[in-house]
Structure 1
């Protein structure tokens, strides 16, 4: 009896996603065929199409998995109503550590976003815009209150954070000299030192 009959629907679906994710990260979306995905996952094409209508659906689901966790964490952090410095540090920590914990998925999504059809991903893009705007609003409000220095626009400050985190998969190594938590701490120190309000 094959694994697809014994592990349950959720297990089969996750196995298909894991296989697609690894292949997209290794060789790219265009170079990966549906047949390669089903071979690695150990299922039939019919099994794959039972859960995913097209190859692109695999990429969309990866995006939901990677970004959904970050968006939920952002909401939890903001709901605490803490001071801007603590809040921004917590956001940076979550996005660095969370991205590092999902390196394969993050690599696949970051490399292949251009392949996502706009009609299928309109909601995902709206979520990403909401994430960006929430971070910028935090910075903007803190600057207006004099808590953060207005040394740079909220847009530029946010992109200094996102520029590091969206490319993390290209240079971070789990067995490297620094843990993700250390990188998050240093990045937060760098950003917050630049935003420190001067008397």
Structure 2
């Protein structure tokens, strides 16, 4: 088995087991048996079950951060930039829905330093996302009557809730869902949206 195959097999087995029986009650032995590898092979890439849980989510964090940087660097107008980032966040979150679901159920069980690392990485991504909104506010595109932190939380609350209702077997594709949620967010963000109403 190739190195990348070992890592992927172990992560997939861990996601399946964590989802079906929980992180706390899943043993390393069960993971390696399901993955068809030895403990030695697993420990070559993951020092512990804790390390494995972090790696499951770190893969998505890294992917989304790389995509955000590419979109921002492409030089699109602000509104098009934010739209592209929102669509990417939703589509990649759907692509990694099992991983994200498992992680958020179990993140409180991570070692403290790992929890702090996740918090730091997520805050960095949210800060980069907020800077796009700030740019749009300076350009007069987006509302300024609501704190940016609230606007960011509004978008990501929809993303984090996906696992509670979205099914790949449903009638709408991930692209349609991404477009719909992005449109709803951008409409709520427009300058003048909700202002002067009660």
TM-score, normalised to structure 1's length?
0.89
Q: Aligned to 1:16, which of 10, 14, 25?
A: 10
Matched residue SS, 1:112: helix
Q: Which residue of 2 aligns with 1:66?
A: 60
User: By how many angstroms is 1:10 displaced?
Assistant: 2.3
Gaps of 5+ in 1: 1-6
Contact 1:151 1:194 survives alignment (8 Å): no
Question: Where does 1:35-184 land on structure 2 (aligned, <5 Å)?
Answer: 35-184=29-178
In 2, the alpha carbon distance for the partners of 1:23 and 1:79 equals 39
In 2, the alpha carbon distance for the partners of 1:14 and 1:71 equals 20
User: By how many angstroms is 1:121 displaced?
Assistant: 4.7
In 2, the alpha carbon distance for the partners of 1:194 and 1:125 equals 27
Matched residue SS, 1:173: coil
User: By how many angstroms is 1:173 displaced?
Assistant: 0.4
The higher relative CO (CA closer than 8 Å, separation ≥ 6) is in 1
In 2, the alpha carbon distance for the partners of 1:13 and 1:70 equals 20
In 2, the alpha carbon distance for the partners of 1:81 and 1:9 equals 37
User: By how many angstroms is 1:20 displaced?
Assistant: 0.6
TM-score, normalised to structure 2's length?
0.89
State the superposition RMSD in angstroms. Answer: 1.8
In 1, the alpha carbon distance for the partners of 2:138 and 2:39 equals 56
Q: How many residues of Structure 1 are paired with residues of Structure 2 in the alignment?
A: 193
In 2, the alpha carbon distance for the partners of 1:185 and 1:70 equals 17
In 1, the alpha carbon distance for the partners of 2:93 and 2:114 equals 23
In 2, the alpha carbon distance for the partners of 1:188 and 1:12 equals 36
**CA deviation vs aligned residue, 1:125-178 (integer Å, no higher than 9, x gap):** 322111101111211232233121224221111111111112212221001122
